[in-house]
Amino acid sequence: MASEIQQFIDNHPVFTGNEFRAALGSDRTEHTLRTQIKYYLDTGRIGQVKPGLYYRKSPGSGETRPDKYLVGSKIAPDAVLGYHSAFEALGYAHSVSSRIYVLTEFRRRPFSFQDVDYSPVAFPTFQDETANTRFGLTRVERAGEKITVTGKERSLVDGLDRPEYMGGYEEMRRCIEKIPYLDSDILTKYLQHRNKKILYAKVGFLLEQFQEEWFVDEAMLTKLESHTPQSPAYFGGERTGTMINRWNLIVPDNLLQDDETS
């Protein structure tokens, strides 16, 4: 059994207690599980992020710092990295944050480990109750394992909805400037699932600003325009800015391109 456990640890830089239990075999008792975990902790072969979550340690190399995105992906069975963390994992972030945002329906408390804050956040509400709440997700590789993150289209919409999880609108703008293209079908379908007029307006405004870079069809903008708010709305928390008539949005001036007009 020792060789099987060692092989499991070698192949799993971060793992949960349930994954370790599965590696032991269903016939092993809870006492055996705890004993084996304690043994590998005491011998320095593994470390503990928190109870039930562990990582492989590298002997003789000082402090081992497990991949923070992989750690975040293991804090709940349905864990999905979202918001700024998704942009980071996808390679589109402007800056690297010390906070990891994890979407989950499970009740999990935030915690810190090795100067990284892990923040569980509830999945955004879908107005379409028949929609698949895992729509718009994608898989990326971290430390040899696949983790689930919100795709660039969903990350864009979610970030516009909750800019506080993005480091603010300016940071988000710098992130989306790195996106090479967007899938219009995924974007529009996700907007339909969320069904919030302000999100249609915000997305439409940004697509218009990046129309040439992202090859946005004018028909796409017209479609989004038909769902915008009937009354003027503020793009963000600031109550100043420039009125963009097409989207019925009052946009902070620092988010406008130099050639933006109303």
Kindly list the distances between the CA atom of residue 214 and the CA atoms of 139, 183, 206, in Å, as whole numbers in the listed order.
22, 9, 10
Residues 71 and 146 in one domain: yes
Beta bridge partners of 46: 56
3-state secondary structure of 72: helix
Q: Cβ atoms within 10 A of the Cβ of 216, count?
A: 21
Residue 190 maps to a domain: no
Instruction: Give the pLDDT confidence of 135-151 residue by residue, as tens digits.
Output: 999 999 999 999 999 99
Residue 172 maps to a domain: yes
Residue 187 maps to a domain: no
Confidence band of 2 (pLDDT split at 50, 70, 90): low
Q: Across residues 74-94, what is the average pLDDT? A: 97
Which of the listed residues 126, 146, 179 is the one where a domain comes to its end?
A: 179
Residues 29 and 86 in one domain: no
% of the chain beyond a pLDDT of 70: 96
Residues 85 and 124 in one domain: yes
Residues 52 and 82 in one domain: no
Which of the listed residues 145, 179, 213 is the one where a domain comes to its end?
A: 179
Closest CA to 213 of 186, 175, 184, 182: 182
Structural domains of the chain, count = 3
Instruction: Give the pLDDT confidence of 203-215 residue by residue, as tens digits.
Output: 999 999 999 999 9
Range of the domain at 234: 196-262
If phi > 0 it is left, if psi is from -120 to 50 it is alpha, else beta; for residue 103 that is beta
Residues 23 and 101 in one domain: no
Residue 184 maps to a domain: no
Q: What are phi and psi of 180, to 5 degrees?
A: -75, -30
